[in-house]
Structure 1
Amino acid sequence: MAPSLSSARARGASARAYRASARHNRRSLTPRASESSSPTTSAPAAESADPEVGTLYECTLEKPLGIRWGRGNDGRAYIKELSAAVGNTDPNMKVGDRVVRCSASFGEDIWDAENYGQVVYAIKTRSGGIYLQLEKRGGDVTIFEFDEVDDVTRMQRAERGGGNVGSGTREVQRRNYDIAQERAQKRVELFEEALKDYQAGELEKALITWEEVLGLEPPNYIGDNMSRCTDVFRITQFNIACVYSRMNNMDASFEALEEALRVGFEDFKMVRSDPALENLRIDDRFKPLIDKYDEPLFNENVLKGFKNLFGGGN
């Protein structure tokens, strides 16, 4: 079912407002990962005494995965968190390891892991075992910083350790502000690019790009419970739920919708009426989910109580 014009306008409204605020002190945007690097190159891991750094290893895991993926500053997918209590992992895995290749979303094909959005999309949409080839990085997590560690950053860290605020600290603060502005603008541009693909029926392209938007969420916003996140993040999660619903991938759609509601998406009228979620609303899981976050106007339990009180419960 094609998206309604009103729904599309609502999806893009907050992004336009966000874009307007990002224009202040805006610098030129950084290149997209697909444009700035080839599939065979990646950011080198920091120097390490571990002789296995740079070596590749393989594993095949069944869902659920106990892995949280993160977007590196080179645009690629890396392991950000591991939890055997949440799902399946591999003993070789360490936080900071890079995904080199992964199973395609369907079939027996193996994809080169060119960017974060592609990897997350493939994992979410795949049924059955997920093949992963990863590069050991010795626990190096500097890839998640705004930029690669350079002499200025090292100077700032030394100053901070000594209790001083010098030129290195001020330079890092200025640079981080500039990069944050660039990333904010880039996120909005990617959001609107995905929205155009969605409206044109290019659902797979829209999903991959919206996953990139999620991966660019500012790190200072992301906490354990996502208590602080941007409006772009909330709207993007909702849009991803809509796409998966249109693709009849109900499990992925419910996962995305619950995440959107959990982080504060509050347009419950759209959740209950958007044509893109029609498949979701006829699923038995929909009502308990929406009622969990938005108390229904008509409370069935209260009505039953009144019926019992006046002898009408039989």
Structure 2
Amino acid sequence: MAEINAISRPLAVSQGDPAGIGPDIALTAWLRRHELGLPSFLVVGDPSVLEVRARLLGLNIPIARVEPQEANEHFANALPVVAIDTGIPVAPGEPHPATAQATIKAIETAVHLTMTGVTLGVVTNPIAKSVLYEAGFPFPGHTEFLADLAQKATGKVVRPVMMLSGPKLNAIPVTIHIPLKSVAQNLSVGLIIETCRIANADLKTKFGIERPRLAVAGLNPHAGENGAMGTEDVDIVQLAIEALRSEGIDARGPLPADTMFHEAARQHYDVAICMYHDQALIPAKTLGFDDAVNVTLGLPFIRTSPDHGTAFGIAGKGVAKDTSFVAALKLAFKLGRGAAGNG
């Protein structure tokens, strides 16, 4: 496929939990598409949910049920939707396990469209993991599910790396959805090395950073104070950094996490590699709650997501901000365009 055709592909947006704010922000973003200069996108989800939500929000937005290849020709005048029936009426703010299979199918469809070259990248709207778990969903979250889909499609082992990307900070947690008490026992030299290798490679190929600078946080307070506050930083983190540097990767640390995230410190690195979920996500969300984007590195396709949850409490009330969703669309287009240009 020629480069110009690749770049002109729409993005595939999965609806997310239909009772959450995914439909709201997809609608308002489309309504502001010209003002914001948004790339073309299609929604994989239930057209009736979007129609009902638009009326509830008082928005005059035509919904076009389309085949994926038709999205671009409709985008200027209607929100194109590849239909996935939820099976039951959906009330905003009232999640139901009966909609889980449609939520899962929407993600699967968006990934399939992207991996087969129909769409440029995947933007996933928020899911409610507890709702999916009730329906038997076996994955901790989006990231692990996307990796499984990619692995099944390619036959190759896929190691996903979650990065929160905002205007002020890129941050990656090495361990993600595990209890804090389990972090130390799950942390290893190999895991840190693998995470940093993937980050380094994708920051080069997808973000265009010629020599990424990785700031690696310590696990313990003050990065362990040379073993006085725990030996993990010496025995695990430091050894991983030494191995990475021997490979030519610009990894620095272990650094005390309490001094890594102020403005002056952030000028000296391109991404913060953190040892656990909240060590990365607290500063990332503090510095860019409305415009940070969740990016999954290590996948054979582009995937971004708004950096917030389903927000059931405000779904359908007309107050949900589409800022992070818009940022996710723009970043997915930018990364997808770069990948298409390099392909």
TM-score using structure 1 length: 0.29
- Please state which structure has a larger fraction of its residues in strand: 2
TM-score using structure 2 length: 0.27
**Which fold has the larger relative contact order, with Cα–Cα distance below 8 Å and residues 6 or more apart in sequence?**
2
